[in-house]
Structure 1
Amino acid sequence: MTTSNDIGAGGNQMDKIAVLIPCYNEEKTIGKVIRDAKAALPEATIYVYNNNSKDRTAEIAAEAGAVVRNEYMQGKGNVIRRMFREIDALVYVMVDGDDTYPMESAREMVDMVLNRNADMVVGDRLSSTYYQENKRPFHNFGNNLVRGSINKLFGCNIRDIMTGFRAFSYEFVKTFPVLSKGFEIETEMTIHAVYNNMQIENVVIDYRDRPEGSVSKLNTYSDGFKVLRTIMRLYRSYKPFWFFLMIAIVLALVSIGFFIPILQEYWTTHMVPRFPTLIVCCFIMLSAVQAFFAGVILSTMAIGDRRQFEMQLNMLQRHKENDYNG
C-alpha cells in the first residue's frame, strides 16, 4: 500500500532489495540513475528521498518509476535516518543521485550481502578512477586523511571511507544509530561497522565526475572539519580507554615537565620558591589520574554496550526471518 507521502508505486512489506537514493536538486541526473538501477537490479524497489529540492527532482523520479518520499530536515544524515526507519528489506543498496557511480557493480554488492553474509559492502572508488576523474585536489587529500585516520585509530583496512555507494544487510540498517546530520554520515557508518565487528567487504567500482551542470553540495572545508570531528567523537565513544589514556599521558607529561625544574632547585637549595607552580603541577597530575580512571570506567561500560548489541542482533535475525517469510 502506498502512503500519502509517496509518489509512485511501492509497498510497506519487506522488500528483497531496496535501492535508496537520497536527493537534493539532482534533476539533471536522477532519471538516469533510476534507469541504471532498474537495469542492474530489475527486481529491486527504488526509493528516492527528496530533501527539499527546489527543482524537478521529485517529479522526474516519479516519472522514472521510483517511489518518492520526502525528508524535510535538511542534510544527508537526516535523509538516511528516515530511509533506514521506514524501509524494510533483506538488502539495501545506497547510491547518490548525481550519477557518479555506475550501477553495474550493484549486483556483485547485493550478492555479497545475500550469499556471503556481508553486513556492509563498500564501493571502493579510490582504487580505480577516482583520482583521475575528480577535479578537486583537496577532496583527494581529505579522502586520504580520513581513510588513514580511521584505519590507524580503529585498526581496520577500509579502502574508501567517504563513498556514497554501499550495500547493507538488514541487521546493519536496523542497528545503526544515525547521529550525524550531514555528509559525515559515511564516516559514522564505517566506524559503526568496524567497532561492532560486522563483516565489511570492498568492491572496486569505477567513478566518474559529475556531468556538466550538476553541482556538488559538499563543502570541502566545513564538511571536512565535520568529518574529522565525527572521527574523534566516535573514537571517544567507542575506544574510551585509549582516548582518555592519551589525555592522561599529555597531562602527566605537562605536570612532570614543570615539576622537574622545581625538584632540581629543591635538591640544590633545599627550598621551594615557586609554590604556585608546584600547586598547579599537582592539580594537573590529579587531572591526569582522573582522565585515566574515566577511561577505565567508560571502557567497562562500552563492553556492556557491545554485549547488548550482540543480543539485539540475535533478536533482529529472528524478526527478519519472520517478516520476510510471513
Structure 2
Amino acid sequence: MTEYTVDDLAVVMGTYNEEAAVGTVLSDIADVTDDRAEVVCVDSSDDRTPEIAREHGATVIEQPPQGYGHAVREAVLTPERPVIVTTDCDDTYPMERLPQFVELINEGYDVVSGDRLYHGADAMPEFNRFGNAAFAAVASVLAGERVHDTTTGMRAYRRDLLHDIEWTENTGLSAELLLRPLIRGYRVREEPIPYRERAGETKLDPLGGGAAIAKSIVKICLEERFG
C-alpha cells in the first residue's frame, strides 16, 4: 500500500468573507506541512479573503455565492493529490492534526472525520452543540451505524472516494460526505479533535440551516439504505 506524506496532501475549503481568519489558517497549514501541501479555496467573498489567500500561495477559484455545498463540492473535486482534507477557514479547526490525519489514511481508512463533540466543544454555542448532538442521534438510527459528529468541517478523504460518489446536497453536504461513504461500507474513522472559538462572524442561520441539514440527513440515509 502507498504510504502518503504531506506531499500527497491537498487542503481545501470554501471561503466567504473570512478575511479575519483565512491568513492565520493558511499560515498554520504552511507551518505544519512545511509548505508542501496544496491549498485550494473556492471563494464567493466580497472582502479581501481571495487576495489574502493568494498572498499565502493558495489556489483560489472564484464562484458566485451559491451556498456551502456548491463551494465545498468544487473544492474537494479540484485537486489531483490523493489525500484531500476539508477544513473551514474560521480558525476553529486544529491544522496541527493534518499529519495525523494523513497517517490514519495510511492505516487504511477511507475517511477520517474530526469529531468536535468528543471533548465537549465548549467553544461551540450551546444551541449548536444541541443541534449537532441531535443530528448525530438521528443519523445513527437511520444509518444503522453510530456516528458522533455529522457536520464537522475537518475531514480527510481518499481522492478516489470523492470522485466515486455523486454528491447532491448543499447546506447538508458535510453530513453527506460522512454518511454516504459510511453506509456504503467504506472504512470511516471519527477522530476526536479540539474545537476553537471562531474568528469572524458565522454565516449559517442556525434555524434555517439546521432544518436543511436535518432534511439532508433523512434523505441521504433513506436513499442509501432503501433507495
Instruction: Judge same fold: TM > 0.5, yes or no.
Output: yes
Once residues 213 and 29 of structure 2 are traced to their aligned partners in structure 1, the CA distance between those partners, rounded to angstroms, is 29
Larger RCO (alpha carbons 8 Å, 6+ apart): 2
Q: Secondary structure at the match of 2:46?
A: coil
Residues 94-142 of structure 1 deviation map (CA, whole Å, 9 limit, x = unaligned): 11000011211111011111x1121110111101251x212x2221111
Once superposed, which parts of structure 1, at least 4 consecutive aligned residues long, lie more than 4 Å away? none
Once residues 119 and 98 of structure 2 are traced to their aligned partners in structure 1, the CA distance between those partners, rounded to angstroms, is 16
RMSD: 1.4
Q: Partner of 1:215 in structure 2? A: 201
Once residues 41 and 156 of structure 2 are traced to their aligned partners in structure 1, the CA distance between those partners, rounded to angstroms, is 16
Residues 223-246 of structure 1 deviation map (CA, whole Å, 9 limit, x = unaligned): 111111112212321222xxxxxx
Does structure 2 retain, via aligned residues, the 8 Å contact 1:77–1:185? Answer: yes
Once residues 120 and 107 of structure 2 are traced to their aligned partners in structure 1, the CA distance between those partners, rounded to angstroms, is 26
Does structure 1 retain, via aligned residues, the 8 Å contact 2:41–2:75? Answer: no
Once residues 143 and 116 of structure 1 are traced to their aligned partners in structure 2, the CA distance between those partners, rounded to angstroms, is 28
Percent of residue pairs identical? 29
Deviation at 1:24, TM superposition (A): 0.3
User: By percentage of residues, which structure has more helix?
Assistant: 1
Once residues 225 and 108 of structure 1 are traced to their aligned partners in structure 2, the CA distance between those partners, rounded to angstroms, is 33
Q: Partner of 2:82 in structure 1? A: 90
Deviation at 1:60, TM superposition (A): 0.6
Q: Partner of 1:119 in structure 2? A: 110
Q: Secondary structure at the match of 1:126?
A: coil
Q: 1:181 aligns with which of 170, 174, 190?
A: 170
Q: Partner of 1:22 in structure 2? A: 14
Q: Secondary structure at the match of 2:170?
A: coil
Q: 2:191 aligns with which of 203, 221, 229?
A: 203
Q: Partner of 1:165 in structure 2? A: 154
Once residues 159 and 95 of structure 1 are traced to their aligned partners in structure 2, the CA distance between those partners, rounded to angstroms, is 18
Aligned residue type for 1:163 = T
Residues 137-190 of structure 1 deviation map (CA, whole Å, 9 limit, x = unaligned): 2211110110011111112122211110110001221113121122x1111111
TM-score normalised per structure 1: 0.65
For the pair 1:47 / 2:37, whether they are aligned, the reply is no
For the pair 1:31 / 2:20, whether they are aligned, the reply is no
TM-score normalised per structure 2: 0.92
Deviation at 1:71, TM superposition (A): 2.5
Aligned residue type for 1:217 = K
Once residues 209 and 143 of structure 1 are traced to their aligned partners in structure 2, the CA distance between those partners, rounded to angstroms, is 16
Q: Secondary structure at the match of 1:128?
A: coil
For the pair 1:142 / 2:128, whether they are aligned, the reply is no
Q: Where does structure 1 lack aligned partners over 5 or more consecutive residues? A: 1-14, 241-297, 299-326
Aligned residue type for 2:135 = V
Once residues 73 and 26 of structure 1 are traced to their aligned partners in structure 2, the CA distance between those partners, rounded to angstroms, is 14
Residues 47-69 of structure 1 deviation map (CA, whole Å, 9 limit, x = unaligned): 1111x201000001111121111
Deviation at 1:73, TM superposition (A): 4.7
For the pair 1:236 / 2:226, whether they are aligned, the reply is no
Q: Secondary structure at the match of 1:89?
A: coil
For the pair 1:192 / 2:180, whether they are aligned, the reply is yes
